[in-house]
Structure 1
Amino acid sequence: MDKPHKQLHAWNISMQLVSEIYQLTQGFPDNERFGLTQQLRRASISIASNIAEGAARTGMNEFRHFISIARGSVSEVDTQMDIAEILGYLTAPQRETVDQTLKRVDKLL
């Protein structure tokens, strides 16, 4: 069954972002497993999930609502990346890779 969200470029790029976040957070300290690691993962998943849910809705207003929620999650990920950088969990090149994908998703939304 082919769902409408799978046709959306924003959803596909957001799935790439989820993968990048999971790879990135594997290197975070163990004591962050239930803190920042989980928050970053949940926020990135929320982006893709809200795009998918919005695409499944029948009305344009509903779709816009879920895209708005996804954009909020983009800001969450950005803030959490700032925190991870401040705490020294990220290198500049790691941050740049994720930032590029995050910016692509944000523009598409």
Structure 2
Amino acid sequence: MTQARFFGFEKLDVYHLSVEMAADVYRVSGHFPQDERFGLTNQLRRAATSVTLNIAEGAGRDSRKDFAHFLTQARGSTYEVASGLQLAVRLGFVPQTDTQAVHEQAQTIAAMLSALARTLKAEA
């Protein structure tokens, strides 16, 4: 199903990749132990969701400088996802093979967010 697009941030490839990553984090974290639902599961899901939300919020700000700031916040949340996944593997919640794709997505997204933030800062 194709969704209508109404806002400029929805044209950004990094936004679509971050939505995909968030959905993948939900799927992977669904295999965590039940007693982690208020711990690492919740934290990882919030971090992954924060990436998409910060991109959207930043795009709605009045200046390129503000947008760049929110992109750096999104990048920080991307790092948080990568770190949380490493912890989940270390704790034995999921095998590393189950987190590899999300980790690669996080690396790609972080690089894209950095590049876009640099561009916006240069134009500000």
Partner of 1:57: 61
Corresponding residue SS for 1:103: helix
| Offset, 1:107 | 1.4
> Which is worse superposed, 74-83 or 27-36?
74-83
Q: Mapping of 1:11-90 within 5 angstroms?
A: 11-90=15-94
Partner of 2:107: 103
| Offset, 1:3 | 0.7
The amino acid that maps onto 1:32 is: E
Distance between the aligned counterparts of 2:34 and 2:99, measured in 1? 20
> Which is worse superposed, 10-19 or 78-87?
78-87
| Offset, 1:12 | 0.4
Distance between the aligned counterparts of 2:109 and 2:74, measured in 1? 9
TM-score for the superposition, normalised by structure 2: 0.84
| Offset, 1:58 | 2.2
Distance between the aligned counterparts of 1:74 and 1:39, measured in 2? 12
Structure 1 unaligned spans of 5+: none
Q: Deviations over 1:52-109 (max 9, x none)?
A: 1111112110001100100110111111111101101121211211111111111110
TM-score for the superposition, normalised by structure 1: 0.95
Distance between the aligned counterparts of 1:30 and 1:58, measured in 2? 42
| Offset, 1:21 | 0.3
Q: Say which structure, 1 or 2, has more relative contact order (CA 8 Å, 6+ apart).
A: 1
RMSD: 1.0
The amino acid that maps onto 1:7 is: K
Would you say how many aligned residue pairs link Structure 1 and Structure 2? 109
